[in-house]
């Protein structure tokens, strides 16, 4: 039995390495999947990818619309008389 701390740590390290080596060397169990399951998963992945692409395109369009609206707001900012005239025209056109 080891009487020093170094000997005890060495023994613990050796047991740890040997235990990990024995446990980690097992073979994987066989995979029980069919070709149909794989094809279904691939089709689902392709559909999700297409949906993601269309969502990205829609987001890009919305971001362009938001930036155009922000640019219009920045242009109209500080021009209250133009906005009041525009509001008056809109109210007049709506029958108020």
pLDDT digits (tens, 9 = 90+) for 5-55: 877 788 888 888 777 666 666 677 788 889 999 999 999 999 999 999 999
Given a contact cutoff of 8 angstroms between Cβ atoms, the answer to whether 50 and 42 are in contact is no
Exposure pattern of 46-58 as b/e (b: 16+ CB <10 Å)?
Answer: eeeeeeeeeeeee
User: pTM here?
Assistant: 0.48
In the chain, DSSP assigns E strands to: none
d(CA 21, CA 14): 11
Task: State the pLDDT at residue 61.
Answer: 97
80: nearest Cα among 88, 92, 71:
88
The mean pLDDT of 51-69, rounded to a whole number, is 97
pLDDT at 1 over 80: no
């Amino acid at each position: 039995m080891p009487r020093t701390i170094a000997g005890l740590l060495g023994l613990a390290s050796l047991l740890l390495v040997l235990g990990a080596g024995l446990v980690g060397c097992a073979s994987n169990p066989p995979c029980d999947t069919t070709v149909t399951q794989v094809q279904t998963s691939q089709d689902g992945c392709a559909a999700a990818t297409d949906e993601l692409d269309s969502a990205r395109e829609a987001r890009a369009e919305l971001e362009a619309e938001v930036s155009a609206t922000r640019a219009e707001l920045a242009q109209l900012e500080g021009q209250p008389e133009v906005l009041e005239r525009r509001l008056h025209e809109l109210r007049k056109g709506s029958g108020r």
